[in-house]
Structure 1
Amino acid sequence: MEITYKIDSVPTPQQIIQLYNDAGLPRPTHDLERIKKMYESSNLIVSAWDDEVLVGAARSITDWCWSCYLADLAIKQTHQKEGIGRKLVDLTKAQIGEETMLLLLSVPTAMEYYPKVGFAKQESSFIINRER
C-alpha cells in the first residue's frame, strides 16, 4: 500500500462523508450540502489516498501569516496508526509556514492523540457552540 498525498485537491462530498463516517468524526454527514459548503469555504485541504480511495483528510482555514485552524482531521479506521494523521499535520504545517500557528478543537476521543503529533494542550480557549 502506497499512500499519496494531495494539497488542495478537494474530495467529493460523498467521499468526505464516507471518510468521516468511517473515522467516527462527528460531523453533519447526513447533510451533503453542508459538507460541500464546509470544504468550499476552507482554504487549505490536504488529503491522503490509497489508490482512488480517500483514507485521510485535513481541512483548515488560515490567513497564511498568523493562524491556521485545523477544522477536521480524519483517518479511515483501516488506515489508522500508520502515520497518515502525522503526515497530514506535517504537510499542513509546511503549507502555512513558520510564522503561522496551527490550532484545533479536539473531539473528546482524540485528546490523547494530538500531543503525539506535536500539539500542546491549552487551557486558554473559549467557545460559543453552534445552535445546530
Structure 2
Amino acid sequence: MENKAIRWVYDCESIDYNELSNLYKITLLGDKKAEDLKVVFSNSLYKCFVYVEEKLIGVGRALADGVDCSYICDVAIHPRYQGQGIGKSIVGKLVEFSNGYNKIILYSYPGKEDFYRKLGFAKMNTAMAIFKNQEQAFEWQLLQKVI
C-alpha cells in the first residue's frame, strides 16, 4: 500500500458507527444500522478496526466466551483495499486473540471459502443455523434446503 500508514484499533472508544455502517454497505455485507453495530461490537470480546489516513478501511470482530468458543464474524475490507492482505491480517489477529480456545468458528459467504481455507479453517460437516431472514439466507446460499 503506497507508503500510507496503517493504524490498528482494538477497542470501540473512538469508532464512528455511521462510517462503519457505510463500510458494510459498500462491501455488500448488508445494511447494518449504526446503532446495531454499536451494540454488537460493544458485546464482542475482540475487535479490529483498520484505518488508512483516518479512513476506516477494514474491520472484523469475534464473539468469544474466554475459554471454549470464539466466533469470528463481520470481516469487511473496503473494495479499494481488497487483495492487499488486510483481510488476512484481520482474521490472523482475531485468531491470535482467540489462541487457546477449544474452537474458533466462522461462516463464509459463498465463494470466500478458499480464502479462509488458506488461513487454516476447515469446512464443518454439521454446522446448522437459524437466520432472522431465513429466506434471504437461502437466496444468498448461506443455507441449503434439505429435501
TM-score by length of 2: 0.78
Q: Which runs of 4+ in 1 moved over 3 A?
A: none
Partner SS, residue 61 of structure 1: strand
Q: Given the alignment of the two structures, is residue 22 of structure 1 paired with residue 26 of structure 2, yes or no?
A: yes
Deviations 1:26-47 (A, max 9, x none): 2x33x33222222222221111
Deviations 1:64-121 (A, max 9, x none): 2111011211011011111111111111122122234221121224233211222111
- AA at the equivalent of 2:21: I
Aligned counterpart for 1:59 among listed residues 54, 58, 61:
61
Partner SS, residue 60 of structure 2: strand
Give the paired residue count: 130
Give 1:1-132 correspondences, 5 Å limit.
Answer: 1-9=4-12, 11-26=15-30, 28-29=31-32, 31-131=33-133
Percent of aligned pairs sharing the same letter: 25
- AA at the equivalent of 1:24: L
Partner SS, residue 44 of structure 2: coil
TM-score by length of 1: 0.86
Q: Which runs of 5+ in 1 are unaligned?
A: none
- AA at the equivalent of 1:18: N
- AA at the equivalent of 2:110: P
- RCO greater where, 1 or 2, for CA within 8 Å and sep 6 or more? 1
